[in-house]
Amino acid sequence: MEGSRCENVGAYRGAAAMYRATIEELVKERGATGKSLYDKIENLKPSLGDDLVTDLHEARMLGNDSVHDGLLYSAEEVGDVAELIIEMTEILYVQPARKAKMRQERQKRRAAAKVVTTP
């Protein structure tokens, strides 16, 4: 992730911009509609819930403030947003994939248990 590379070398404005770009891609991939990134994030509220939407806005604002207003955020603030993105990725992609795999394995075991062998 480009943002973490920037963060690791102390380029926090660059990291903030990259993290915002990550959010832009995430909401696009989730099918969000709207004119601005704010609108796109809000469009996802029914499917994501308030907590995730708040986290998305945190990352959006960090990037906007860094790029448009030239604000400098601390390493801790940028790191917090990086953690939010990692958690969102876990919730939105990793957990569903893990659950789907577990469900598939359970179905295979049930199907195998139903097979009756005859002598």
Element (H, E) at 72: none
**For residue 82, which of 26, 5, 3 has the smallest C-alpha distance?**
3
For residue 119, tell me if it sits in a domain: no
Residue 45 inside a domain? The answer is yes
Q: Where in the sequence is the domain holding 6, given as residue range(s)?
A: 2-114
Residue 26 placed within a domain: yes
Give the model's confidence band at 113: pLDDT under 50 very low, under 70 low, under 90 confident, else very high: confident
Q: Which residue has the tokens 């400098």?
A: 72
Separation between Cα atoms, residue 14 and residue 39, nearest integer Å: 23
pLDDT of residue 105: 95
What pLDDT digit, counting tens, does each position of 40-79 carry?
Answer: 999 999 999 999 999 999 999 999 999 898 889 999 999 9
SS3 36: coil
- Domain assignment present for residue 35? The answer is yes
Q: For all residues of the chain together, what is the average pLDDT?
A: 93
The count of structural domains within the chain is: 1
